Structures are given as C-alpha cells and as structure tokens.
Structure 1
C-alpha cells in the first residue's frame, strides 16, 4: 500500500461521522478532503513529511527493510516505533503526544499495528510489545475471519492480508486464529476472490461491495494467502502457469490472483493508478508502488519468470518515485529486490539501502552474517562476565586444588 492510499484511508477514518452525507458513488477511501494540521517531524522518525497519515506504517517498513538487508537501525528509531503503541497493544497511524495514554478518540489502525508487529518481531527484543499487539489484533477480528482498516469496519483484502503477515511473524498459525463466527483469515480472503472470466477475473477485490484498486488488493491477498508478510522469498514454481482456473481453496485463489497480475503487467511491465475522484487530469499514471508489491506477490506465488518484466521496469523507473515518496517507498523496492534475489544496493544503479538510510537516523552498523555471529558471541561473553563467569570458575578451581590436591588427584584417577 502506497503512502497516497494510506493518506486516503486515514482521511476516510476521520470522516466516518460525515460519510452519511456523501454521494454513494464516492469510495470511502477517498471521502475526506481536509487533512489534519501538519506536525513537526519527530526525532527518530524516518522521512520528513507529515506523519499523521503514515508515521507508524513508514517507520515499520523502514525498520523491516533495514533488518532484511542486515542493517541494525538506530536505537532511537526503534524506540520511536515502540513509543507509538497504545496501552491496548494497538497502534494508531500516528500520535503526536506519547507522554500519556492514547486519546480515546484516536483512530486505531490494524494495518499500522500489523506492520509494527512484523518489524518488531524481525528486530527481536520486543516480545512484550509484539504480544500485546497480536492480542489486540485477535480481539478485533471480524466474524467473517478478516479485519478492516479500523476496528469495527468491514473486512477488506489488504487489512486481512497484512494481519496474516503479522500473525505469522509473531509465531502464530493464521489458519488457527478463528473468529467468534468460526472463520479464519483465509475464509475471509476467499470472499474477496473473483471467479475467472469477466471483469477482474481471478483478482481479489478490496471489498465485495467496494472493488477499489484491484491490483493493490490482489497483490496483498496473494501474499497473505501464502501466510507471508511484507518480506518474502520466492516460492516454488507455480506449475499452473498463468492461466486462471476455477478455485474453491485459498491456494487456488492465490494462483488466480497471480494470473491476474501477470496479465495486468504483460503489456507495459507496470500497473496503472486510476485518477483520484474529481481530479482534473483523468489520465492513468504508472503505479510504481503497486507494481513493486505485484513483483513481491508474483515471487511468492512462484511466478518469478513473470516477475522479470515488471522488475526490470522498476529498475529503470522507480528511483525518482522513491526519492519523492520517502522511506516506505524505498522499503517496498527493497522487498521487491529481496523477493527476486536482486541486489538492493544496485537496483538499476540506485543503492536502495543507502537511500533508505539517508531518510532517517544513522543505523548502528551494517553487518554481515559473520559480523552478526561475532556480535552474538561478544554478547554471550558479556553475559558470562556479569554472572558466574568462566574465569571466576577457573580461578576457583585452582584455589580449591591448592587446598585439596590429593583429593582432587584421587578423583581424577577414579574417572573412566
């Protein structure tokens, strides 16, 4: 999900009380037009744009992307994210005042919460925060097994999918997280899948009564159907190819979603974003963010060959978009590179890792696997020094041997 769509979703949530007077033809995601006043960029936050719409989301993606490429984020960047959590375990899109409990009127955000869980679970050391968030997500699961953007809202494909990723990241089995109605998240995903043939055949719609940007919801749902989160590796080759087939299971629906994305990307290598309602320019523009998400989805589905063309298009065209859009955009491209085994430090000539790092506080260090192992050994050594350490034991051994040499010698001789 791009920052623009998150902005629209947050605005829609703030306009719930006025939605009744809006024309039925206006999608809820684009209903509101008056954003909250801009806020100063907090220390520790990635990006410089107003965080009201996407503060937690972009921070979570930035931290998760850095972890994916072996970068240790700054401590204050992690602390900023943890500090956004409400006592309930939920995260809002952003809260400016973290000195006290969350305002009861502050909209809580299932997408931001799920993204935060994925980031904090990957970074480690944040088990209490992760457990609280997972408990909250379970508590607001809809009876159909899915989740809406805000608690109490109708389930949608994007929200349900990102929560599936959070559950998996936290060590849960998504199919075992069942609602009071006896439905799992995968049951909900199936309700968004369109049958083959006709308009959007094989795709996943945002909601049955509100199709939304179908490529966006399809990419999210394909990944969710595999029980994956924002970071994926390529799946086993899809033997079904790119043909849509009748499906009654979430696995079959995921295949059809991959087939839909393949078809949508075949001509140009990129997806298009429809014009915003009321916009003077009604020309469709390339949708870089959703193209990146589609690449991840195709890789997850095992359609890596079909992901080649859009991946190439991203390498040639995504740099300017990411620079303008900020940290979440760089993270999306890093996820696409990771899913396809592409070097994120040379993505069409752009070092995505360095570019992402430049949008926030300097990371602690850049580490390789060997460096991680060395760091762990050093930490283990410090733990030994702080307790009954190795050298204390050795010293005690020699001290005891001076006073009881004969006995010690006898014991050694008696050992097999």
Structure 2
C-alpha cells in the first residue's frame, strides 16, 4: 500500500527511515514542517497522535481500507481529507488550519497526494478534487518520467509507484502520462530495478544512489509495475506467476516486477517476516520484525500471482501483528486490512481480531458499518421469502442485487506508497 507506502505505509522504524530518506532527496529549499503544537485534533481525523508528518497519509489509508471492506466512512472524515487539499491541487502531509490558503513554504507531498487520490476515487463523488490533484501530479512529473517525495526532488521508486496507482485509480493510463522528455512512469521505475545477482539482486532500490529500505521500495514498485494502487484483490485461479522465485534477466517492467516479487518471496521464506535494522544510535543492535513492510509484501506477492508465497507471511501477521497495529494506529490497521483483502482472508477475523472494528474505533464512527456474513445471509433469506410469490425473474433479481452489494466494495480500481506510521 503500500506502501506507497509511507510506504505505507507504517512501522515506527520504517516511518523514521522513510522520512530521513525523503528529506535527503528533497530540494534544499524545502524545509520539513515542525511538529504541530499539542492541540485538540479535528474530530474528523483518524488517529490521536501528532499528524504533522502523516495526517493525510493515515486518513487516506483508513478511508481506503474502510471502503474496501464495505464500510461507508463518516462524512466528516471525508470532508477533513478533501479540506487538506491546497488551491493548486496538491496535498501536504498535514495542515492544521484548512480555512487559510496553504502557506507557500508548506512542503507539498506527492505520496500524500497520490494516496488521497486513491481513497477519494474509490469512495466516489469527489471527481473535481481528484481531477485537480491528478493535474498537479502531472505538472510535477520529473524528466525521467518519475516523481520524488516533494516537487523538484529526485525520482524514487516509492513515490513513482504510488503516483502510478493514483493515475490508474483516476482512470488515467499511466503509460500515457509522459514527461516533457517523453519518458513514462514505467521508464523511471525500471531505473530502480537491480540486476540479478548480489545482495539486492532483483529488488527495486529507493533511488539508484540511495538504496534505503529495499523491501519497502520493492513492495511498492511491484504494485506500480502492475499499474495497481494500494488495493489488490485476491488473485483468481489461473493468474499465478509460474516462474517461481528465480530472478531472470529482463529489460521489461513486467520482468522487473517478477524479479522484485521473487526477491520478496525469498526474503520472507525463512521466517515469514521481514526485518528492519536498528535505528542510528539505538542501544539494541538487533534487527526487529518489520510488520508494515511484511504486510505490503503480502499485497505485492498477490499482485504478482505469488499467492502461495504470501501464505506464510500472512499467517505470521495473523499471529503477531495485532499489538503492533494497536500501538501504531489507523494506517497500520489499514495495511493489515489491505493485506488480508489481497490474500482473500477475512479482516474481521484476523488472528482472532476484528481489524475493521479496530480501525473504525480510531476515528469518527462510519456512516455504514460492513455487514457481517450472518447479517448478509439473513437479508438474502428474507428477500427470497418476501419475493416468493412473485416471478422467478423478480426473485433472482433481488438475490443478485444483494450479491452485488456484498461484493461491490471488493471490485476496486487498479491503481500505490512509502510506509507511514499511524
């Protein structure tokens, strides 16, 4: 998701490293915003911690995850997100006072903007907002066809990938969005793909000269290479990647996607989870489990047709990730929901936890909660009984209507992120 993934996506360690990389890649003239003073947060915002660095990101993921499982988000939650948009169409990471125009010094965020597009496009009814943001994203495309974290920054795999997802979500064809130099987002994506062999063979690096957290950028880029966003529907039979986990020499984005997924599958094979290195200055030198990027890898593997290789990390997440999500907040719950959705698992019974209810509890109560399987069945039975005296055509129309309603939220745009916490 993710991520893109502030990217998404969402671990404490991943978020800090991601922001450090982004800061290094951003233009020198762009200063990072100062943390927001302790104040009462908007009632429409998901999460309770300082939103300075991830307000729009976590809100977008929360709304997108809700929509994916058939939950209609609270109107004020959607209004809060749309209200964060600047006049030019871009979204910052967060602005405390949306009643005033965006400050000229406020850093604009391609990742937050792309995540917002994906969420609002999925929810529907926000065409003008989506169109305006897509127009801004096109206007800041780099000459190599990609995008950086902030306008003017060097292109990176995460930002380029989540913008690809946003373009697809908005109905654009990413390969038709070209820079002034005639380069497409996929041209840029290929520059981050590493040749087979070596430590990171087959992976996508954050930037050629700034590897960053390779699992994070690889999970993002696999989705981007497929033209998909943060939401991936469980693979149907017959769409499996039959090449296995062998890295193969390739010059195409499709081949690079396979190699990236193979890299992730190999990294996950032993323990079922990815690790994150200790932060600079940490007293504990041991690596820690990387929950956010493991969830993103599950999504990426399913997008590639490697659902079998995603089973072990999914099971590990079901057994171990709930405490992390509870501590990390709405974006973490959203990542797990999207991973469950991609793998065909039930997010309302994820290792014994209802992720949907937990996500809903981090913000304003939704307009319409997702119906349980039993409730949906009861409604169908009632509809069938009520229509029993009518024609066969009428009966099956009603049954079909309920069936479509129950799965409609699962048919989402192909449209992804850099992991973000909270």
Using the size of structure 1 for normalisation, the TM-score is 0.83
CA contact (8 A) 1:201 1:260 kept: yes
1:305 to 303, 308, 312: 308
Distance 1:240 1:371, change over 3 A: closer
User: The residue matched to 2:348 in structure 1 has which SS?
Assistant: helix
Aligned residues: 366
- In structure 1, the partner of 2:241 is 238
- In structure 1, the partner of 2:125 is 125
Structure 1, gaps ≥5 residues long: 21-30, 377-416
- Matches of residues 15-414 of structure 1 in structure 2 within 5 Å? 35=35, 37-235=37-235, 236-367=239-370, 370=402
Question: How many Å separate the matches in 2 of 1:224 and 1:149?
Answer: 15
CA contact (8 A) 1:147 1:155 kept: yes
The structure with higher relative contact order (CA 8 Å, sep 6+) is 2
CA contact (8 A) 1:44 1:360 kept: yes
Structure 2, gaps ≥5 residues long: 1-6, 372-400, 409-422
CA contact (8 A) 2:110 2:137 kept: yes
Question: How many Å separate the matches in 2 of 1:334 and 1:207?
Answer: 29
CA contact (8 A) 1:11 1:32 kept: no
CA contact (8 A) 1:147 1:156 kept: yes
Q: CA deviation at 1:239?
A: 1.4
Question: How many Å separate the matches in 2 of 1:170 and 1:255?
Answer: 25
User: The residue matched to 1:361 in structure 2 has which SS?
Assistant: coil
Greater helix share, structure number: 1
Q: CA deviation at 1:276?
A: 1.3
Question: How many Å separate the matches in 2 of 1:166 and 1:213?
Answer: 22
Moved over 3 A (4+): 2-20, 31-40, 371-374
Distance 1:93 1:34, change over 3 A: closer
CA contact (8 A) 2:25 2:149 kept: no
The superposition leaves residues 189-222 of structure 1 with CA deviations (integer Å, 9 ceiling, x where unpaired) of 1000000001100000000000000000000000
Whose radius of gyration is greater, 1 or 2?
1
Question: How many Å separate the matches in 1 of 2:73 and 2:117?
Answer: 16
